[in-house]
Amino acid sequence: MLTIRRKKLEGTAHTKEDLALAVIVTGVLMTAIDTTIVVLALPSIERDLHIGLASVIWVIISYLLIITVLATQVGKLGDMFGRVKMYQFGFLVFIIGSLLCALSWNEASIVTFRLIQGVGGALIASNAGAVIADTFPPERRGRAYGYNAVGWSMGAVVGILLGGLLITYISWRWVFWINVPIGAVAFIAALRVLHDPGKRQKHKLDIGGTVTLGLGLYGVLWAMTRLATNGLDATLAGYLIGGIILLIAFVILEHKVEEPTVDLSLFRVPTLAPSLLASFFQSLANFSVLFLVIMYLQGSRHLSPIDASLLLIPGYLLGVVVAPYSGRLSDRRNPVLPATAGLTIQVIALLVYAQLGMSTGLWMVVLASVINGIGGSSFFPANNSAVMKAAPSNLFGVSSGMLRTFSNIGLVFSFSLAILITSRSIPRGLAFAIFVGTKGLVGPLAAAFANGIHAAFYASSSFLVIAAVLSATRAKNAKLHLSSAPKTPTEKQTDSGDALAELPQETTKA
């Protein structure tokens, strides 16, 4: 009888976990849809709202920038007021931001409303990992992160298909309207299914660090995006130098505040530092792939946006299959193996992309997409699991936010850097025009543009190599830490692969 009752209780617990996971995956699905669907909508937004070619890119960058700047701060809010509450509130803000974006009337309005949408995205993304860590025991977190990656891949596919249909047959505004019913359903489900464990952690928000980081990134990104269409002048130099100075000031400031935006003390955890840096370099290398391939297919090969995007779907679909297995493997073994293998596979994918030319068969795009999908789906759940396993339980929110911060800094610079490298091969102004689908390339100009894309892919592959090396070092760090640090009774209850490190007193105190 006791055995039967125990099995029933375990079954009930697993059912609750599965329902919670479904809600979390829905949030990831929604944010992933928004990422790919807005990319496809850029040409229509540019024409309808009469936005300049360089300015329309900020419809993407502004969203990513606000998520980057707020990632750790909203993670702290989750620790302070409840991770589930902040996660639920994120849905509300995201819905409001989406509704306002659908009603936009000019450049300033849509960029501003995308910032609001980004606040909601930050609340969802930064607290999702912590909610998973709260909901699932260490031995089942990898599986949960695997399905989280599935949600992202599925969302990317749905975004491509849905975006093509909505933009072609209705209006670009529906790429934002569609978030309202999806977000409402996810919000209601989150209220019913997700529950905070009741733990609270006091934190101090780093307003000065947040502002300094945001302005510094803005200055550098503004200069980089403008350099793709303009020559270097005093104004651009001022933005670039000012941004760099502010970023240096940010680093200095972070050493002086009690609870910084980027908690550098977490880098003392042996396996956490390379995990965060691997996430940064992976994002720096891989986020631009979608943009570069679409630019190549639309500009050099003259495909329509929807036809170009459809060639990438096989990679996302295969990612849906691979991600759960990578998550389970990271549960059973050290996450280093699937994470490092995934990065290595992605290097191969980018090298294949770098061979694309004017007469290359389109099957190579599909092949590279499939290889890249396998690599990405192997890396993300394993690396997420490694971060949350290494993080102290009272700092899940901060650690999850740190992971999003490093990943998102890579994202915003990945796009700008790829555009800048590619645009060096053709006359200024054409790179953005090709990207948003207003111009095509023929003859020598098309070949030159393809060479520019090759340079961007080779640069991205070098960043992935750095990420793979950083990921591989975690195996040695984990062994050294486990052999030198005696386990406490609390640590013995965690997964044997956990490498919980002792943090400085100022980090661990309430």
Distance (Å, whole) CA 169 – CA 237 = 43
CATH superfamily of 21-196+259-493: MFS general substrate transporter like domains (1.20.1250.20)
Whether the CB-CB separation of 213 and 168 falls below 8 Å is answered with: no
Per-residue CA distances from 200 to 82, 84, 197, 297, 479 (Å): 7, 12, 9, 50, 32
If you average pLDDT over residues 201-211, what whole number do you get? 81
244 three-class SS: helix
Q: Using the 8-state DSSP alphabet, how is residue 282 labeled?
A: H
Percentage of the residues of the chain whose pLDDT score is greater than 70? 79
pLDDT digit string, tens, across residues 273-290? 788 888 889 988 887 787
pLDDT digits (tens, 9 = 90+) for 246-265: 999 988 888 888 777 777 77
Task: Kindly state the DSSP code that residue 300 receives in the 8-state scheme.
Answer: I
CA nearest to 456, candidates 480, 486, 425:
425
Contact call for residues 471 and 343 (beta carbons, < 8 A): yes
Mean pLDDT across 111-139: 82
pLDDT score recorded for residue 320: 73
Q: What is the pLDDT of residue 244?
A: 93
pLDDT in the model for residue 494: 38
pLDDT of 478 reads 52
**pLDDT, average across residues 235-248:** 91
pLDDT of residue 442: 67
Amino acid letter at 17?
A: E
Which one, of 428, 430, 460, 461, lies nearest residue 446 by Cα? 430
Higher pLDDT, 73 or 184: 184
Cα torsion for 218, 224, 229, 233, to the nearest 10°? 90
DSSP string, 335-394: THHHHHHHHHHHHHHHHHHTT--TT--THHHHHHHHHHHHHHHHHHHHHHHHHHHHS-GG
What are the domain boundaries of the chain? 21-196+259-493, 206-258
Residue found by looking up tokens 């100022």 in the block: 506
pLDDT digits (tens, 9 = 90+) for 421-444: 877 767 666 666 665 555 666 666
CA-CA-CA-CA torsion sign (446, 452, 454, 456): negative
Predicted pLDDT at 98: 92
Q: Are 433 and 53 in contact (CB under 8 A)?
A: yes
- Residue 408: pLDDT over 90: no
Asked whether the beta carbons of 330 and 275 are under 8 A apart, the reply is no
Residue that has been written with the tokens 């529906």 in this structure: 174
Report the share of the chain in percent with pLDDT over 90: 13
Q: Quick check: 28 pLDDT over 80?
A: no
What local confidence, expressed as pLDDT, does residue 484 receive?
41
What's the average model confidence in pLDDT over 450-461?
85
Statement: residue 241 has pLDDT above 80:
yes
Model pLDDT for residues 351-402, shown as the tens digit of each residue = 999 988 888 888 999 999 999 988 888 888 788 777 777 776 666 666 766 7
Looking at residue 381, its pLDDT comes to 78
As a whole number of angstroms, the longest Cα–Cα distance in the chain is 80
pLDDT over 80 (residue 138): no
According to the model, what pLDDT value does residue 5 have?
46
**According to the model, what pLDDT value does residue 371 have?**
92
CA quadruple 127, 115, 180, 317: dihedral, nearest 10: -60
Reported as a single tens digit per residue, the pLDDT across 157-203 is 777 777 777 777 788 898 899 888 888 888 888 888 887 766 777 77
Q: Which two tokens stand for residue 387?
A: 């971060």
Nearest to 21 by CA among 134, 118, 121: 134
Q: Rounded to whole angstroms, how far apart are CA atoms 161 and 33? A: 10
pLDDT, residue 88, reads 86
Q: Is the separation of the CB atoms in 456 and 356 below 8 Å? A: no
The band of 325, judged by pLDDT with boundaries at 50, 70 and 90, is: confident
How many whole angstroms separate alpha carbon 103 and alpha carbon 101? 5
Sign of CA dihedral 268, 207, 82, 331: negative
State how far the Cα of 93 lies from the Cα of 438, in Å rounded to an integer. Answer: 33
Determine which of 135-144, 409-418, 500-509 has the lowest per-residue pLDDT on average. 500-509
- Smallest CA-to-CA distance from 390 within 400, 380, 405 is with 400
- What Å distances lie between residue 336 and 269, 431, 481, CA to CA? 15, 38, 15
pLDDT digits (tens, 9 = 90+) for 210-222: 899 889 999 988 8
For 158, residues 6+ apart whose C-beta sits below 8 A from its C-beta are: 29, 32, 33
**Residue 199 DSSP label:** -
Q: How far apart are CA 264 and CA 262, in angstroms?
A: 6
Q: What is the model's pLDDT at position 493?
A: 38
B/e letters for 169-197, b = 16+ CB within 10 Å, e = fewer, are eeebbbbbbbbeebbeebbebbeebbebe
Judge contact between 225 and 61, C-beta under 8 A: yes
427 against 310, higher pLDDT: 310
| CA–CA distances in Å: residue 4 to residues 1, 17, 71, 324, 368 | 5, 20, 44, 29, 50
Give the residue from 457, 227, 231, 243 showing the smallest Cα distance to 365. 457
H-type alpha helices, 50-135? 53-56, 58-81, 83-102, 107-135
Cβ neighbors of 263 (< 8 A, separation 6 or more) are 72, 398, 402, 507
Output the CA–CA distances (angstroms, integers) from residue 29 to 113, 139, 155, 182, 320, in the order listed.
20, 24, 4, 10, 12
Please give the pLDDT value at position 197: 67
pLDDT greater than 50 at residue 506:
no
Q: What tokens were used for 509?
A: 């105190």
The pLDDT value recorded for residue 326 is: 73
Instruction: Return d(Cα 82, Cα 135) in angstroms, integer.
Output: 13
User: 203-207, 220-224, 338-342: lowest mean pLDDT where?
Assistant: 203-207
- Position 500 scores a pLDDT of 31
DSSP letter at 299 equals I
Give the residue from 383, 408, 342, 388 showing the smallest Cα distance to 66: 408
| Helices within 136-270 (DSSP H only) | 138-169, 174-177, 179-193, 207-227, 234-254
